[in-house]
Amino acid sequence: MSSDSRKIRVAVRVRPFNERELEQNPRNIIKVLDKSTLMFDPDEDEDEFFFHGVKQTHRDITKRVKKKLTMEYDDVFDNAASNVDIYEVCMKPLVQSVMNGYNCSVFVYGATGAGKTHTMLGNDGCPGITYLTMKELFHQIESLSELRKFDIGISYLEVYNELVMNLLTKSGPLKLREDSNGVVVSGLVLKQIHNAGELLELLALGNRNRTQHPTDANAESSRSHAIFQVHIRMVEKKTGQKRTVKLSMIDLAGSERAASTKGIGLRFKEGANINKSLLALGNCINKLADGLKHIPYRDSNLTRILKDSLGGNCQTLMIANISPSSLTYDDTYNTLKYASRAKKIRTTVRQNIVPSNVPKEFLVKKVNEQAEEIERLKAKVADLEEQLRRKATAPSAAEEGSPPALNETLLNTWISRIDSCYNSMRQALQHLMALKSKEKLINMRVKLKEQAENIARIVTLDGSHLDEDIAKMEASIDRCGKQVTNQQADKSRWQERYRQSLRNRNALREEVMQTELATVLKNYLGGKDAEIEAVRSTLWKDHVLQMSFTYDQENKLWHNIMMLSGDIIQQNYLLLRSMDRLDNVTLDKLKRLVKLNQRQRGVTFFDDDCQQGRADIDLSSDSMDDIANLSDCSADAVDFLSGDSTVALAIGGVAGKRTKVNDSSESDPDTETSNPLKQATTIKDHAVEMNVFKKPKMVSRTLSFKTTATGGGGTVVRPTMSSRRTPTKLGHGSKASAVAASNRLKVPRLVVSSAVGAANRKKLLPAGETVEQDENRLLDTSDESNGIGNIANSTFDLCTNKDPETESLFSNVLVESNVAPQVLEKVLRRASMKGGKMTLSVSKDSRKKSPKRIGKSPRSINRSNSRTNASANSVINRYRMMKAKDAAGGSSGSGSSSTTVAIKPITARIANNNFENDGDRNRHNRLMGIMKK
Ligand SMILES: Nc1ncnc2c1ncn2[C@@H]1O[C@H](COP(=O)(O)OP(=O)(O)OP(=O)(O)O)[C@@H](O)[C@H]1O
């Protein structure tokens, strides 16, 4: 888009004397010398005066000396010129500029009654330049209607007392604001017109609304600046190229001095405002003429509106209207001076072609055409070169009898042709795969975002922000959608180019096979094919890695969410239950949750049954679940390998065995490279190379509570935790390994008994041992095995408000003990009654022993990472659920009391590794994922 610096075009129009002036017999102060020159204040044509026979030059010595200023403008029109003349000379070229996409602007300047409105609007018998211009504009539009589509909207504003008003609709004052397109009137609605006739109606309407008051100088004086603007939008039908242009026609209020209108009161205020805006206009004109950088456009609304016309991207015409009468000597002189200054102003004009509006398809088509043309020309050049060489070498070869020289040249030609063909193929493939990969990733992200949105609808801390949050998420999803849509055109373009390159390659191959160099070139072609395959594989690898990474991040996030949710659910469940607020609906939901969790185990763990389950999954679906389960080799990951074809692969086991389950691939001309089996092999190789199909290693964590006696008989229970990678491949049915694995698990247990009191226990003690000794012994033993020890019949400070983690741990530990739910309820009720410091008294006849604190130790957990802690809680919870289930079944079966829990001898439990029976252990091990069913 080129720009052009042009001066403002300035025309001066001299009106005829009006009746009022003629009555006063004034002097003519304007003498039009030619089409571009006039003389201001010329000598009077007076009768020659002789004194004593001598011609006198100065008849009246008191008379002012004439200025006799010769002034030059672009155009000067004398009093005989009509509006049509003005239009033909000044406006017609502007209409042409408008049609070429340039902004144009014309403003009439002059004192009141100088003929500005007459020039602009004219009257019934003599239409003004506005009507004439619009008529020509519509004429041009009609003649170009086959090539372009036009939209025309007009606005008619006035600036009165510094307020901007719409003359076409009744509304309040409008505000001006500036944007990249210049000064814009806020809230201005354009009126559409379809012919010059409609324009006349609107102009009449606008003029009726315009502020006019009679002044001494003009009976119909316009007291405001009127701005008529035509906005034209043109769209080239063939190319889609868009141009938006604006033609502004401004009828300024009179530039006279206030005194000449003899205004008082409101008229004086009008005059002051008119003068203020015209003064600002004068300042701007002066500064622009001097080439200054800072132009005070903001000094008035008028100059703000005229900013574009004076110093912006606009071709501007100024028509200075003057009266020839000596009655307006000063005003005319001022007008002419302004006009002269304005002549020096330069504006920079450029065509308003909107490049972004050129349809993409058009550009894409053009680029494709050019690319094809380049390819064709390249091939032609190569062909011609080859012919030339052949001609050049043929005679000499015949002379010398050395045909190999010919072969070598030919070979080089063929090689350069093959290289060029494969280069374009590689380029297309790279673009295509990058675009497809991007699309797959975006689609995957959209699904993840949708999931997050669903969760946000359920879980929200503050309902008032929900809408805002959802709106943000939806906006983000929309953005992703737009990204995908935007690149569709690109994708199909590269797809077409890729297909074209494949066709070219096949054609070239056939051609090669006809030549005498077929054997050599066949090998060369094979090498090139291998190169393309390597590129394809690398791109595929990058894509899979990216997909894996994204999914892995999401997986981690979900893991954390689930752990936190589980923890919160469990705590709320216990709290509700302790408060007797657990209703059936919530309970049902919890049960469903537990069941869901149990069902998921079958999919999550890598045992034989699960493998079967995996094979049943519909791998062609790209649902979220499938992405989640098969992220490493999902259909998404490999779909793009064969263009539009869909090749879905399934994992067939831990080692990453894959099975082709669906191949709807259309015939790719490149049968060799599009062969899905070959691709599968490639994928497999990559899987091994990248390790992406390898089963993630399971991690088991050992949790133990160390109980140590403190001074004064107190006992501190410190939970410690360690993580260890556990080999997931266990020997099938290997009992020894299962036991070994279960042995590694030390489940925290808090052994509580309200039935076995100190007195009773004393009877069980070996002779000579006190209760205290017995307890210490038990504690010590349990430290080794159970991890917590028997701390029954005691009052414990479980935790304080400051240590919620201990509270959480305690509830888990407590549930794991054999305390029946009813007992637990009582315990929690009691505990909560103590307020900030939770104190648990299990036994009715509890002795006031030093409290055994469970509170300091969680710091050691804090030192571990939070994920480890969450996992530990999860382990405990799983175990708790299992026990709760068993307890429910057991109690109904045996009918044992739920309030009193008898504990087994600790030593027996040590031997049994804390499990009540083998079923428990097996179930536990299954839950922990360390043993096959
Ligand atoms: N070139 C002209 N030929 C014939 N009559 C004219 C010409 N110019 C102006 N007049 C007449 O002079 C009178 C005043 O003209 P006009 O209203 O256009 O002045 P104006 O500059 O717009 O004044 P104001 O600033 O007060 O609105 C009108 O009656 C108009 O018809």
Which residue's alpha carbon is nearest to atom 30 within ligand 1? Answer: 118
The DSSP call for residue 212 is B
**112 pocket-lining for ligand 1 (C-beta < 6 Å):** yes
**786 pocket-lining for ligand 1 (C-beta < 6 Å):** no
Q: In whole angstroms, what is the distance from residue 722 CA to residue 720 CA?
A: 7
Length of the chain: 933
**118 pocket-lining for ligand 1 (C-beta < 6 Å):** yes
**271 pocket-lining for ligand 1 (C-beta < 6 Å):** no
- Mutation to probe ligand 1, out of 12, 13, 15, 129 (largest number of atoms < 8 A from CB): 15
Tokens representing residue 579 in the block: 């408060």
Q: Secondary structure of 78-112 in the HEC alphabet?
A: CCCCCHHHHHHHHHHHHHHHHHCCCCEEEEEEECC
Which residue's alpha carbon is nearest to atom 16 within ligand 1? Answer: 115
- pLDDT digits over 748-794, tens only? 333 333 333 333 333 333 334 333 443 333 333 333 333 333 333 33
Tokens representing residue 668 in the block: 């790719």
What is the per-residue pLDDT for 582? 83
Task: For residues 445 and 322, state if they share a domain.
Answer: no
Cβ 689 vs Cβ 831: under 8 Å? no
Ligand 1 centroid, distance to 15 Cα (angstroms): 8
The sign of the torsion formed by the CA atoms of 273, 279, 281, 283 equals negative
Task: For residues 101 and 184, state if they share a domain.
Answer: yes
Whether residue 252 lies inside any domain: the answer is: yes
**315 pocket-lining for ligand 1 (C-beta < 6 Å):** no
Cβ 686 vs Cβ 541: under 8 Å? yes
Q: In whole angstroms, what is the distance from residue 750 CA to residue 786 CA?
A: 8
Tokens 């015209």 map to which residue?
A: 278
| CA count, 13 A, side-chain hemisphere, 492 | 9
Q: Relative to the CA of 110, which ligand 1 atom is closest?
A: 21
Whether residue 261 lies inside any domain: the answer is: yes
Q: In whole angstroms, what is the distance from residue 31 CA to residue 45 CA?
A: 11
- pLDDT digits over 537-587, tens only? 888 888 888 888 888 888 888 888 888 888 888 888 888 888 888 888 888
What is the per-residue pLDDT for 60? 54
Residues 6+ apart with CB under 8 A from 34: 76
Give one DSSP letter per residue of 393-460, joined into a string. HHHHHHHHT-THHHHHHHHHHHHHHHHHHHHHHHHHHHHHHHHHHHHHHHHHHHHHHHHHHHHHHH--
Q: In whole angstroms, what is the distance from residue 150 CA to residue 99 CA?
A: 10
Known binding residues for ATP are 110-117
Residues 6+ apart with CB under 8 A from 159: 165, 224, 225, 227, 277, 301, 302, 305
What is the per-residue pLDDT for 84? 93
Ligand 1 centroid, distance to 114 Cα (angstroms): 6
Whether residue 434 lies inside any domain: the answer is: yes
- Mutation to probe ligand 1, out of 19, 21, 117 (largest number of atoms < 8 A from CB): 117
Ligand 1 centroid, distance to 226 Cα (angstroms): 15
Q: In whole angstroms, what is the distance from residue 433 CA to residue 643 CA?
A: 8
State which residues of the chain have pLDDT below 50: 1, 258-262, 356-357, 397-398, 403, 600-819, 831-876, 879, 890-917, 920, 923-933
Ligand 1 centroid, distance to 159 Cα (angstroms): 20
Best CA proximity match to 707, nearest among 795, 791, 816: 791
SS3 state at 55? strand
To 10 degrees, what angle do helices 466-486 and 488-514 make? 30
Pairing status of strand 104-110 against strand 315-322: parallel
The sign of the torsion formed by the CA atoms of 276, 278, 280, 286 equals negative
Whether residue 184 lies inside any domain: the answer is: yes
Looking at this protein, which amino acid is placed at residue 849?
K
Cβ 195 vs Cβ 184: under 8 Å? no
Whether residue 260 lies inside any domain: the answer is: yes
Task: For residues 326 and 429, state if they share a domain.
Answer: no
Which residue's alpha carbon is nearest to atom 9 within ligand 1? Answer: 115
Task: For residues 183 and 280, state if they share a domain.
Answer: yes
CATH code of the domain in which 73 resides: 3.40.850.10
What is the per-residue pLDDT for 82? 92
Whether the full predicted model's pTM is greater than 0.80, yes or no, is no
Q: Give the domain-ending residue among 537, 569, 601.
A: 569
Task: For residues 431 and 301, state if they share a domain.
Answer: no
Task: For residues 20 and 106, state if they share a domain.
Answer: yes
**222 pocket-lining for ligand 1 (C-beta < 6 Å):** yes
Q: In whole angstroms, what is the distance from residue 676 CA to residue 682 CA?
A: 9
Q: Relative to the CA of 83, which ligand 1 atom is closest?
A: 1
Hey, what long-range contacts does 69-72 have (CB within 8 A, 24 or more apart)? 69/39, 69/40, 69/41, 69/336, 70/33, 70/37, 70/38, 70/39, 70/40, 71/12, 71/37, 71/38, 71/39, 71/40, 71/336, 71/339, 71/340, 72/36, 72/37
Task: For residues 154 and 241, state if they share a domain.
Answer: yes
Which residue's alpha carbon is nearest to atom 31 within ligand 1? Answer: 118
CA angle 880, 883, 886 (to 5 degrees): 155
Ligand 1 centroid, distance to 216 Cα (angstroms): 13
Give one DSSP letter per residue of 512-565, joined into a string. HHHSTTHHHHHHHHHHHHHHHHHHHHHHHHHHHHHHHHHHHHHHHHHHHHHHHH
Whether residue 210 lies inside any domain: the answer is: yes
SS3 state at 174? strand
Residues 6+ apart with CB under 8 A from 640: 432, 433, 436, 437, 440, 543
Ligand 1 centroid, distance to 327 Cα (angstroms): 15
Ligand 1 centroid, distance to 139 Cα (angstroms): 28
**426 pocket-lining for ligand 1 (C-beta < 6 Å):** no
Ligand 1 centroid, distance to 262 Cα (angstroms): 18
**218 pocket-lining for ligand 1 (C-beta < 6 Å):** yes
Secondary structure element (H or E) that encloses residue 248, with its range: strand 242-251
Known binding residues are 110-117
Task: For residues 69 and 153, state if they share a domain.
Answer: yes
For 386, 785, 805, 873, the CA distances from 856, given in Å and listed in that order, are: 88, 21, 10, 18
What is the per-residue pLDDT for 215? 57
Ligand 1 centroid, distance to 117 Cα (angstroms): 6
Cβ 641 vs Cβ 537: under 8 Å? no
Ligand 1 centroid, distance to 118 Cα (angstroms): 5
Task: For residues 291 and 439, state if they share a domain.
Answer: no
Q: In whole angstroms, what is the distance from residue 131 CA to residue 201 CA?
A: 11
Q: Relative to the CA of 13, which ligand 1 atom is closest?
A: 1
Whether residue 890 lies inside any domain: the answer is: no
Ligand 1 centroid, distance to 115 Cα (angstroms): 3
Ligand 1 centroid, distance to 153 Cα (angstroms): 28
Whether residue 751 lies inside any domain: the answer is: no
Which residue's alpha carbon is nearest to atom 26 within ligand 1? Answer: 221
What is the per-residue pLDDT for 548? 82
Q: How many domains does the chain have?
A: 2
Task: For residues 228 and 142, state if they share a domain.
Answer: yes
Q: Give the domain-ending residue among 349, 365, 381.
A: 349
Phi then psi dihedrals of residue 874, to 5 deg = -65, -40
Residues 6+ apart with CB under 8 A from 17: 26, 28, 79, 323, 324, 325
Cβ 230 vs Cβ 135: under 8 Å? no
- Mutation to probe ligand 1, out of 21, 218, 273, 302 (largest number of atoms < 8 A from CB): 218
Task: For residues 313 and 453, state if they share a domain.
Answer: no
Write the Ramachandran bin of 111: left for phi over 0, alpha for psi from -120 to 50, otherwise beta: beta
Task: For residues 162 and 305, state if they share a domain.
Answer: yes
**117 pocket-lining for ligand 1 (C-beta < 6 Å):** yes
**419 pocket-lining for ligand 1 (C-beta < 6 Å):** no
Best CA proximity match to 116, nearest among 232, 222, 19: 222
**220 pocket-lining for ligand 1 (C-beta < 6 Å):** yes
**335 pocket-lining for ligand 1 (C-beta < 6 Å):** no
Q: Give the domain-ending residue among 547, 569, 591.
A: 569
Cβ 382 vs Cβ 415: under 8 Å? no
**253 pocket-lining for ligand 1 (C-beta < 6 Å):** yes
CA angle 460, 463, 466 (to 5 degrees): 70
Q: Relative to the CA of 114, which ligand 1 atom is closest?
A: 21
Cβ 454 vs Cβ 470: under 8 Å? no
**Domain coverage including residue 209:** 4-44+64-349
Beta-bridge partners for 11: 75, 319
